[in-house]
Amino acid sequence: MFPVASSSIESTPATGAAKPSSNPAAKPKRRVRRLLASWSRWLHIYLSMFGSAVVLFFSITGLTLNHSDWFFAEHATKISGTMPREWLNVDAPAPPGWDEYDFSHQIYRLEVVELLRSEHRLRGKVTDFLAFEDECEVTFQSPGYSATARINRSTGEYAVDVLSSDLVTVMNDLHKGRHSGEVWSWVIDVSAVIGTLVGLTGFVLIFFLKLRRRSGIALAVLGAAMTWYFYTLAVA
């Protein structure tokens, strides 16, 4: 056997080997695509898990709200009592620009409200306190609950009508943010943001799934078209 000189062997590129990209802008574009896919997947997964409880709550209550007659149950209670007449007839000057219809300046409103709360365990916020020449009307409201007290200013006697609803009605009121307070209003806002981000990131991710891209986009367009169609029927 004879040795073969190394200089006689020519190196040839492997057949089918990928050639390096000649476009310098390709790498940054690929990096951006990877980052977009990674962040969209991360947000979609963890926001879905974090917001699963509120999304489930608003989904279920959307159904019960749309069919409230299936679940609605209301319990009415009537309460009566007496409070000091001095609280209802305070000798106080009328405020500037008094319209001669609102007599609330002649009433100790805080004392009246606290007595009604403590004596009868009324709950919720005071949404109305109307003071007329001969009587007062105080309204307490919270989700699925209302209590209206009518007070005779001359005698101090009052009657309270309490309406309390079932758990489904309470949840329906929470869904609408009805008499639920500022804290629950933030819950609604945060859940709306989470739901929006979950939807957007899910739509972005479909563009990175080559096998399902066309069918996914087609279903998204179909869903949007159906929503628009039913919207036009609803507002017609």
Contact 143, 173 (CB under 8 A): yes
Model confidence at 23, pLDDT cuts 50, 70, 90, reads low
Number of helical (H) and strand (E) elements in the chain, helices listed first: 7, 5
Please report which confidence band the pLDDT of residue 20 belongs to, taking 50, 70 and 90 as the band edges: low
Q: How confident is the model at residue 24 (pLDDT cuts 50, 70, 90)?
A: low
β-strand 125-131 against 135-142: which pairing, if any? antiparallel
> How far, in Å, CA of 82 to CA of 66, rounded?
42
Q: Which residue has the tokens 């492997």?
A: 14
Residue 111's contacts (CB-CB under 8 Å, 6 or more residues apart) are 87
Output 186 or 35, whichever has higher pLDDT: 186
Whole-number pLDDT of residue 25: 59
The model's pTM is: 0.69
Between CA 98 and CA 106 the distance in angstroms is: 12
Kindly report, residue by residue over 129-170, the tens digit of the pLDDT: 999 999 999 999 999 999 999 999 999 999 999 999 888 888
